[in-house]
Amino acid sequence: MKIDLTGKNILVTGASRGIGRGIAEALGKSGATVGVHYRKNKAQAEKLVEAIGNSSKAFQADLEKPDDCQRLFEEVTETFGSVEVLVNNAGIFLNSPLESDRWLADWNTTLDVNLRATALLSRLAILQFQQRGGGRIINISSRAAFRGDNPEHLAYAASKAGMVALTRSIARGYGKDGITAFLIAPGWVRTDMNRETIERYGEEAITKDLALNTLTEPKDLAPMIVLLASGLADHATGTTIDINAGSYVH
C-alpha cells in the first residue's frame, strides 16, 4: 500500500542530516511538503529541499533558544499556511562525565534542546491543531528513555525519558480535539552523530547487542513515521514504537 501525504505540511526538526534527513526524504516521496529545520547545515538542508520538491523549504533555528522555537513554528506556518504534522527529531548527545567542569552546562543544554524545545514546539502545534480540528505530533526519543544510558549521558537519558511522559500526556489530554501523539524509540542508528562512537568501538561491538544482524539505518525508521503522519494509525495514539533491532524490548 502506497501512502499519499499530498496536501500535508510537515515540520521535521533536525532534518538536514541523520534520522531527520531520512524522515524528510520519505515524507517527501509520499507527497508531503516538508519544512526542513536545520541549525548550522544550511547547504545540506537546501540540497535536501531541492531533492524533496513539493514546495518544501529549509528553516534555520537554534532550538536551544526559546525565541527561535517560536520563530521557527511561526515561519513554517506563515510559509505553508498550516502545519498538519510536527516531527520533533532534533537532539544532542553530549559526553558529560560527573567530574567535568561543564557537567551542569551540558545538562542544561541537553534538556533545552531535547526536551524543552520539543515541549515548546508541541505547545504551538497543539494550539494551531485545536483551531484546525486536529493534527499529529511524532516525537523521536530513544531506547535510553527506558533502559537508561551510561554515566556520561545521564542528561540525554533523562531528556528522552521526559519526552515519553510529554507524548503520553498530549495523547491523553488532547485526543478529543483530534490531536494524536506518538513516540519512536530508536537504538543505535548509523548517523553522523554516532559515527565517532561506532568508529571508536567498532560496529561489531554494537551489533552483537542486537537481535538482528545489521545496524539500524535512518531508512529503517522513516516508513513508520510516514504511516503515523498519514492518520492510518491514529488509534495507536500515545504508544511507543521501538525501532532498535531488538536490542531493547519492553
Position 92 confidence tier, pLDDT thresholds 50, 70, 90: very high
* Residue 190's CATH number: 3.40.50.720
Could you tell me if residue 248 is inside a domain?
Answer: no
Average pLDDT in the chain: 93
Options 156, 174, 201, 248, the catalytic residue: 156
Q: Facing residues of 165 across strands?
A: none
- Candidates 82, 124, 84, 13; CA nearest to 231 is 84
| Number of structural domains found in the chain | 1
pLDDT digits (tens, 9 = 90+) for 27-49: 999 999 999 999 999 999 999 99
In angstroms, rounded to a whole number, what is the distance separating the alpha carbons of residues 15 and 56? 12
Could you tell me if residue 148 is inside a domain?
Answer: yes
Could you tell me if residue 1 is inside a domain?
Answer: no
45 neighbors 15 (Cβ within 8 angstroms): yes
Could you tell me if residue 249 is inside a domain?
Answer: no
68 neighbors 44 (Cβ within 8 angstroms): no
Could you tell me if residue 86 is inside a domain?
Answer: yes
Could you tell me if residue 186 is inside a domain?
Answer: yes
Q: Is residue 248 annotated as part of the catalytic site, yes or no? A: no
Other C-beta atoms lying within 10 Å of the C-beta of residue 167:
25
pTM over 0.85: yes
- The boundaries of the domain holding residue 222 are 9-243
Could you tell me if residue 127 is inside a domain?
Answer: yes
Residue environment code for 64-91, b if the CB has 16+ CB neighbours within 10 A, otherwise e: beeebbeebbebbbeebeebbbbbbbbb
HSE at residue 7, side-chain half, CA atoms within 13 A, is: 3
> Which of these ranges, 22-31, 139-148, 190-199, 234-243, has the smallest mean pLDDT?
190-199
Q: What is the 3-state secondary structure (H, E, C) of 72-96?
A: HHHHHHHHHCCCCEEEECCCCCCCC
pLDDT digits (tens, 9 = 90+) for 159-218: 999 999 999 999 999 999 999 999 999 987 866 665 666 566 566 666 777 878 888 889
Position 57 confidence tier, pLDDT thresholds 50, 70, 90: very high
Could you tell me if residue 2 is inside a domain?
Answer: no
pLDDT of residue 203: 60
Q: For the chain, what's the residue count?
A: 250
